[in-house]
Amino acid sequence: NAGVTQTPKFRVLKTGQSMTLLCAQDMNHEYMYWYRQDPGMGLRLIHYSVGEGTTAKGEVPDGYNVSRLKKQNFLLGLESAAPSQTSVYFCASSYQGAWQETQYFGPGTRLLVL
């Protein structure tokens, strides 16, 4: 099993450009999450999904959109990138529909917005 994979690993964007980050998991997990990690601020939840076709907002959803068209994939979109979105983005997944479950994280995507 590959676990949780993320593409791309690194990306540089100019302000105003758009992009999509892809997360894929092969563990048949129901829940998937997108976090951003900034220095001194830990991990903050952007959006999450409790199942195929469903999404919900986390702590810091503004400027991002998500889609979960297939159970194994969770996409994070930036429609108009801003320098404040420079961060490391982590995707995670967990097995069942309960928050008291181990979250399995991907290796991260480092995004730089100029």
If one asks whether residue 105 binds other proteins (CB under 8 A), the answer comes out as yes
CB-neighbour burial class of residue 74 (10 A; exposed 0-12, middle 13-18, buried 19+): buried
Considering only 34, 36, 106, 113, the residue that binds other proteins (CB under 8 A) is 106
- The answer to the question of residue 102 lying near other proteins (CB under 8 A) is yes
Question: Binding other proteins by CB under 8 A: which of 20, 43, 67, 73?
Answer: 43
In whole angstroms, the minimum distance from the beta carbon of 80 to other proteins comes to: 26
Which residues, including other chains, have CB under 8 Å from residue 37's CB and lie 6 or more apart?
43, 44, 87, 88, 89, 90, 108
**Residue 103 sits in the site that holds other proteins (CB under 8 A):** yes
Q: Residue 90 interacts with other proteins (CB under 8 A)?
A: yes
Binds other proteins (CB under 8 A): choice among 24, 81, 92, 111? 92
What are the C-alpha distances in Å from 71 to residues 23, 32, 61?
A: 11, 9, 21
Give the dihedral sign, CA 110/60/91/65. Answer: negative
Closest CA to 38 of 98, 114, 94, 108: 108
User: Least Å distance between CB 95 and other proteins?
Assistant: 12
User: Should residue 44 be labelled a site residue for other proteins when binding is judged by CB under 8 A?
Assistant: yes
Question: Could you list the residues that contact other proteins (CB under 8 A)?
Answer: 4, 40-45, 48, 58-59, 90, 92, 99-100, 102-103, 105-108
